[in-house]
Amino acid sequence: MNSPHTIVFDLDGTLVDTAPDLITALNYVLDREGLPPVPMASARNMIGAGARKLIERGLEAEGRTVTPADMDRMTADFIGYYADHIAVESRPFEGLEAALDQFSAQGHRLAVCTNKLEWLSKRLLDELDLSRRFAAICGADTFGVQKPDPTIFRETVARAGGAVKASIMVGDAGTDVGVARRAGVPVIGVSFGYTDVPIAELKPDRLIHHMRDLPAAASSLMTV
């Protein structure tokens, strides 16, 4: 039996398929600017670096740039709309809750480390009845740094009551692999998330294609 570990999850594209609601919010903002909507398929890979970056990428797709003041206004519009429509279509990935049950039964701690704002992350997980499963839910504004800065990972683990040397990162994109490498911890990549660079090319320590495979992948990385 492995000693208790802290399993740290990214949120968007790892725990929850949030793309439908995020892209609906993006297209709401673009429509207000008189711009055409971004197709769901192409927009999925724009997600993962926060609301502002998502809007920037949406504008870039139309060859548009805006002033910092306009970007501030559009970001506020996005967050306001998204907060009110945060779990219309967003759902946990198949097999997630069974995997979390297995981790909890084995005594492992669970935490969320995301570049989404903390209050939005908590609202989403509350709506999906998932918040109670996590010892810590930390976002881009919680410690003033974002992934891949290792500070956000270390502080998330500490808030969850764990130790960095007995922790694992689970994510879908370069920021997740990057934060794990900088923090000196192993990382499991999920192939079903949102990334402009295929996760396999980023060489995570383990790669899974379904949440049912997560507990075994994590167990194989536990060395203490």
Q: What topology does CATH give the domain 6-17+91-222? A: Rossmann fold (3.40.50)
215 within 8 A of 100, measured Cβ to Cβ: no
* DSSP symbols for 134-195: -SEEE-TTTSS--TTSHHHHHHHHHHTT--GGGEEEEESSHHHHHHHHHHT--EEEETTS--
Hey, what are 173's tokens?
A: 């994109």
The full set of domain ranges for the chain reads: 6-17+91-222, 18-85
Q: Report, in angstroms and rounded to the nearest whole number, the Rg of the chain calculated over CA atoms.
A: 17
Q: Which residue has the higher pLDDT, 92 or 39?
A: 92
Give the pLDDT mean for 61-78.
91
CA distance 207 to 134: 23
How far is it, in rounded angstroms, from Cα 202 to Cα 123? 30
Annotated binding site: 10, 12, 172
**What backbone torsions phi and psi does residue 64 show, to the nearest 5 degrees?**
-110, 145
Q: Which two tokens stand for residue 9?
A: 């999850």
pLDDT of 57 above 70: yes
In CATH, the number for domain 18-85 is 1.10.150.240
pLDDT of res. 61: 83
Residue 147 has pLDDT above 80, yes or no: yes
% of residues, the chain, pLDDT over 70: 99
Cis before residue 37, ω within 30 degrees of 0?
Answer: no
Q: Are 217 and 188 in contact (CB under 8 A)?
A: yes
pLDDT digits (tens, 9 = 90+) for 159-204: 999 999 999 999 999 999 999 999 999 999 999 999 989 999 999 9
Active site residues per annotation: 10
pLDDT digits (tens, 9 = 90+) for 92-146: 999 999 999 999 999 999 999 999 999 999 999 999 999 999 999 999 999 999 9
Q: How far is Cα 85 from Cα 186, in angstroms, rounded to an integer?
A: 34
How far is it, in rounded angstroms, from Cα 218 to Cα 165? 14
Question: Which pLDDT score, from 0 to 100, does residue 224 have?
Answer: 67
- Judge whether 10 and 172 are in contact, CB under 8 Å: yes
pLDDT band at 62 (very low <50, low <70, confident <90, very high): confident
* Feature table: binding site for Mg(2+): 10, 12, 172
